[in-house]
Structure 1
Amino acid sequence: MADGPARPWLTIVGVGEDGWDGLAPPARAAIDAAELVMGPARHLALLGDHKRRAMAWPVPFADGVAQLLAHRGRRVVALASGDPFWFGAGSSLTRHLEPGEWIAHPAPSTVSLAAARLGWAVQDMACVALHAAPVTRLRPYLVPGRRIVALLRDGAAVGDVAACLRDQGFGTSTLHLLEALGGPRERVRVMRADAPIPDDSTHPVAIGIDCAGGGRVLPCASGIADDWFDHDGQISKRPVRALALSALAPRPGDMLWDIGAGSGSIGIEWLLAHPANRAVALEADPVRAARISANAKALGMDRIEVLAGRAPDLLPDRVPDALFIGGGLSHALLATLWARLPAGVRLVAHAVTLESEALLARWQAEKGGHLLRIDLAQAAPIGARRGWRASYPVVQWSVIL
């Protein structure tokens, strides 16, 4: 007789600020029957006396995962905030488990509670997790009329969010300070970002931002203005950058190598295309490498990885879905990439000098793909009149390995 499906040994329970009283009956039953209950000290305290053997989750989080897995097969409960699968610990645990080993009982998330208090439609607002991220992650979402819920690490971060909004020209935004939602300590206060910010916010805390002001808004299209980036002249100019990103064709979740990254504009715009995208920027000049990190942080794209070094001597470990060569083009680099990377990687390379243009022409003749010559000119004064001032032409080679 075939064995039936295994019973789950791990129960993931979402705990709200109302503690034991707010748990559904299946979650209460799992905790009562558990041989071990693991969770942050705050969540354990919210259960009061309704817990069996308790173990506080250690720091760093990964150490707790190893300890939990050591109890595989026993009746174990892992506690998390609200909905464990909404910016929570749920997926961090289940990726180590097989189907059938776990079950989850979520509670309302902070975002759901915030929407219920503010009357905002969840599907129409942005949610930004700032627990362990800089407040500049808000930058792409700052649009007059946009509604944002930001989840914060502690009360001190409220002032940081308000300062970010003021610095970016959105000081007239309305802030809804949401504290300990769903529990007896719940408090909702309303203020403007440019008003005095209270320093007594109670953890856990979130902010509902009704964005307003005359600050600059990041466009959605590729090829944002050059002055969004700090640079020393080593930057793919706006129209050329737009053509490069079109050829690179970012898709959700794709990884980019930006080789010879200069100001980081290509890699940063790649990340702006979708929140799941990833990018590694390689730059041989350490000053420029530091500038890439600063540019990325300023635009809320600090998740870019910056490597200071020269390709092909230094290349990332992770295989890209696409790569851009904006500097350091050479026969050795192209040969290394063809030998190392699997088929299907999208490559776009730019050349400005006659030597690098000839190199791309030779490789395109052998490997195929498309060559595009980009000639741009801008209107400029000539005495009392105007004429066209041409830029250096750029040759673009795009090919699939």
Structure 2
Amino acid sequence: MLSEQSTPVIRDTLPVVGAAIGEITERFYEKLFDAHPELLRDLFNRGNQANGEQQKALAGSIAAFAGMLLEHPETRPDAMLARIANKHASLGIASDQYKIVHEHLFAAIVEVLGDAVTPEVAGAWDEVYWLMANALIALEAGLYRQAGAPEGGTWQQMVIAGRQQETPDVASFTLRRADGRPAGAFRPGQYVSVQVELPDGARQIRQYSLSSEPGRDEWRITVKRVHDGTRPDGEVSTWLHENARVGDRLSVSAPFGDLTLAAGEGPLLLASAGIGSTPMLAMLNDLAATGSTRPVTVVHADRSPADHAHRAELRQLVGKLPNATLHLWYERDAEQEPQAATGQADLDALELPENTTAYLCGPLPFMRAVRGGLLRRGLPAQDVHYEVFGPDLWLGQQ
């Protein structure tokens, strides 16, 4: 809870800080990487730094957290914090790194805002920062304990036991622990981080959803090669597609992520687009393996049937569930797939049972459209869950 003396200061200065937060975060990263170049080389996603998405995500999280403290002073924004904490734990973030961030972030604030940063203003925003940082540190400590690992130490060596080319741009990799032990349990919907050493010596990290049945002794990740012409090619996805072969070793984190299938018998909506189908596959695998009779509405949208990774597996899994229905949309060649529709996914015409819990994964425009439609239909916001691949640019809109 924000203190009484800081609350009016944050309320008065939030518009000013919010208007300048883009410049502040840009200066912050410049200062951070000048002082600690190893963080850009081995921790932060260099592609997201190059296209500015990481700056937008940090700006969104800070502004959203401060706004929530003002709007709901009696509660903590746990949904937002949990998403960030899971991502941090998957990267191996340690508590002492928050001090480094604080140092360079506040230097950037003073540099951008100048004389407007009075001692009173600096103290209030310092309080906001440490409220958020300490909450994240506590959540991340709990995640490390659950993983049975020391702070930042969830990395393990895994061997590629199988590789399957799903589409021209998507490959699946089956992973087993190098020490021969079972890969370990995970909750359907979680992801792992994969760290690879690139030709320039950088050790870059990316997250990939686990797309296999949670109870197996091995894991499966499904990797889409990023080369759509609108941003730099994905460094890690390209390396995996061009270099990773059966028998090779990869550094892989423990499973993390808060988009996990809730227990119960209530109806579900699993809506995905493109490579966003991967966490839904783990959920469907789990539902099929446990003989679930829950009503499940499965929606997937893609460019074409040929671009739809795990298309046959999706149909097979839905077919195993007695109360599941499948709805497919393709931008082209929809006539090649039975009962598929042409165009963008349109959920407005679908009948959804009362008390449906929705899980969304895919590009942000798809999730915004689907979420907006569900809210208009009366689904409570707390029953609509989502996963974002990459920096979460949606935090301020939740």
TM-score (norm 2): 0.28
- Compare CA radii of gyration and give the structure with the larger one: 1
Q: Higher strand proportion, which one?
A: 1
TM-score (norm 1): 0.28
Q: Which has the higher helix share?
A: 2
Instruction: State the structure with bigger RCO (CA 8 A, min sep 6), 1 or 2.
Output: 2
